[in-house]
Amino acid sequence: MSSSIQLFFDGSWITLILSSCLLLMILTFAIQRGQFIYAVRNIPQPISLPLIGNAYQLNSTLEEFFNNLVKWSQRFAFTK
């Protein structure tokens, strides 16, 4: 072994094994989180603007708002 590796692991195989397990756990978590974020971003949703989100769509009468909700439920609902 080179001197830098010997200094880091100090010749202990347990340290090497535990470090490898920790690295594997971190990589697994990162991959799963990335897949989750990708899936969430692909969920169909009404268009929102930066900073105000969908608040601009609330500026309507109660009847218009209800009609918008019905349209959104038909457009963005999960159907089998």
Task: Assess whether 35 and 4 both reside in one domain.
Answer: yes
Task: Assess whether 49 and 18 both reside in one domain.
Answer: no
Q: How confident is the model at residue 11 (pLDDT cuts 50, 70, 90)?
A: low
What is the identity of the amino acid at 11?
G
Query: 3 or 53: whose pLDDT is higher?
Result: 53
Q: What are the pLDDT digits (tens) for 17-59?
A: 888 999 999 999 888 888 888 877 777 777 777 777 777 777 7
Q: Which residue has the tokens 């949703």?
A: 45
Q: How far apart are CA 49 and CA 58, in angstroms?
A: 13
Task: Assess whether 30 and 61 both reside in one domain.
Answer: no
pLDDT at 79: 65
What the block records as the tokens of 8 is 């880091």
Task: Assess whether 4 and 17 both reside in one domain.
Answer: yes
CB 62, CB 70: distance < 8 Å: no
Q: Comparing C-alpha atoms, which of 36, 56, 53 is closest to residue 45?
A: 53
Domain residue limits at 19:
1-43
Task: Assess whether 38 and 53 both reside in one domain.
Answer: no
Task: Assess whether 75 and 52 both reside in one domain.
Answer: yes
Q: How many CB atoms lie within 10 A of CB 19?
A: 12
Task: Assess whether 39 and 71 both reside in one domain.
Answer: no
pLDDT at 10: 60
